[in-house]
Chains A and B, each alone.
Chain A
């Protein structure tokens, strides 16, 4: 029992929780933008995976992990653009397209990994991003352990999420985005370009998920491995819904997921005799529970998943 307490209530868990929340929180914010504009984005998983791959690939060919991050943002954004063209431009079903994108991304990244590195499971090692230490903060007891030293992307992620929240709720563009997802006809009537807003949001969501992917492959690890996103894109979507399509609350929801992830990792290395598989199940079970608890009281954007064509309503 004391071991259990040690595993769960450990300050390192808090640090790990913050660390592991990053990819989920970034993709959750992406999901919030996409869905606030009216486009369901099941494809976050594939966008994150593509980002993870592009990050390592970019780092490999340029030798600079920051350029790798840029590659990841562009790669995720490109997959987002595919989703946007299909769902907004060609009016394909959002969910079917998202699932197709995830299967396509899984196949493409694994294929390219084998073509480039001639290996089946993982890529070569590349230079990772390293860590930043905040002077002053790192010396504060407890808080220093929790927040003092992290990958630079952790700090960037928090900054981006605050910026995203401001963009969504405090700027004219944010108002237009929300209006597009709630009532595209009304948005169209007041001169908002519904399709342009949707393209912007879906591509942005891809870039954010791609950045989350880069965090997995350049900060948490420094290589790419097959299907390394491991369902985090879906968890992000659940966090996005649980957070009421709000980037800040989505970050809060992501902490829930990453906390169980942290405990899961700690249990695997502890002396507790619990089978690995049972422990690994925890984050996935939690996602289901959270989703089930969240949707009861949540209200999605009114026009989510619907197609819109200027001039007439098409369903």
Chain B
């Protein structure tokens, strides 16, 4: 894609976020809250000071992975709504492996635990990929159902086999050598954010420079043409879904090994679903996942402050995510609602 068009599309996506926040302002006002107080808390919570910035980065880290996961599947024309479940299996697998390999040197231990988390996510991605490729079962339904399966399954496993002795259902704390190193002392900003950026660069390279990436793109744009051109569509579909699952699995691994230091059932505040909003904003450009993840990380971190100090429910951010997806899916909507004149081509949403 030429850079100029990519930038203008991303610019529209940012406009979509602004529009969604405007609709949010109307809702805040209609519900009897003070809009100014709400949004000033949102902003200071996201960017006002070192602590806020650190929280924004911590919140962006899992979103970087889940957003990349969904965006990568988009490239193959697949809609992975299952990042949430893949995140859970990745998180638990990493926690268990990191705890079990205490005798290995830290670097190896952390590396193997990360790989194991990615592998678990890939395995969960394999199921909808295979069902789509061989049987034509729609991946949106199967991935959503697997989200429920994965959350129940991981909760069950923790309760039954990996429980920390004590009242709470969770694993024991990871020892220092099983954690991702801190980047900034005293905050929870870990090496995870760097790994996320490396993952973006790596997958971007795969898409642009490898046969696999090229064929995945062709399948995404026109599966019939791909088939005709000799691409094994089934194999590429399964592979794309597995890679997508692996990346989402890493979101869980990084969260457990870099932020929480243990697996806790239901720990994710919907990172997998926010990842959809991140990916929709990023569109076809994988690099754009980075700013999009930071944007939503900021909204998440600011939203917490807003809830804490202005008493406005965090769910506002879920609404904003939903609205952003709709605005980007239908670029004409923004123009209709707000009379904006924007140079956005018809059908700028994903097909």
Whether a CB of chain B sits under 8 angstroms from the CB of A5 is no
Q: Which of B106-150 contact A (CB under 8 A)?
A: 127, 131, 135-138, 140-142, 144-146, 148-149
B-side contacts of A103, CB under 8 Å: 273, 276-277, 318, 321-322, 325
Q: Which of A74-124 contact B (CB under 8 A)?
A: 82, 86, 90-93, 95-108, 110-112, 114-115
Taking the closest CB of chain B, its distance from the CB of A195, in whole angstroms, is 15
Give Cα A108 to B23, complex, Å: 12
Contact yes or no, B349 A92, CB < 8 A? yes
Whether a CB of chain A sits under 8 angstroms from the CB of B155 is yes
Tally of contact residues, B, Cβ under 8 A: 51
Assuming the contacts A86-B333, A114-B313, A234-B145, asked whether A104 and B276 have C-beta atoms less than 8 A apart, the reply is no
Whether a CB of chain B sits under 8 angstroms from the CB of A280 is yes
Taking the closest CB of chain A, its distance from the CB of B139, in whole angstroms, is 10
Interface residues, chain B, CB within 8 Å of chain A?
A: 27, 31-32, 79, 81, 127, 131, 135-138, 140-142, 144-146, 148-149, 152-153, 155-156, 159-160, 273, 276-277, 280, 313, 315-323, 325-326, 329-330, 332-333, 336, 346-347, 349-351
Of B127, B137, B276, B330, the contact of A99 (CB 8 Å cutoff): B276
Contact yes or no, B144 A96, CB < 8 A? no
Smallest CB gap from A114: residue in B: B313
Taking the closest CB of chain B, its distance from the CB of A218, in whole angstroms, is 23
Contact yes or no, B27 A97, CB < 8 A? no
A-side contacts of B273, CB under 8 Å: 103
Whether a CB of chain B sits under 8 angstroms from the CB of A163 is no
Give Cα A237 to B27, complex, Å: 31
A-side contacts of B319, CB under 8 Å: 104, 107-108, 111
Contact yes or no, B159 A95, CB < 8 A? no
B-side contacts of A101, CB under 8 Å: 322, 326
Whether a CB of chain B sits under 8 angstroms from the CB of A285 is yes
Smallest CB gap from B142: residue in A: A288
Contact yes or no, B135 A100, CB < 8 A? no
The binding surface of chain A is classed by DSSP as helix
Contact yes or no, B280 A280, CB < 8 A? no
Of B317, B330, B350, the contact of A86 (CB 8 Å cutoff): B330
Smallest CB gap from B322: residue in A: A104
Scoring A93, A112, A237 by chain B CB atoms within 10 A of each residue's CB, the highest score goes to: A93
A sample of 23 inter-chain contacts (CB < 8 A) reads A42-B140, A91-B346, A91-B347, A92-B326, A95-B140, A96-B79, A96-B325, A100-B280, A100-B326, A102-B322, A103-B277, A103-B321, A104-B319, A105-B322, A107-B321, A107-B322, A108-B315, A114-B315, A231-B144, A281-B148, A288-B149, A291-B131, A292-B137
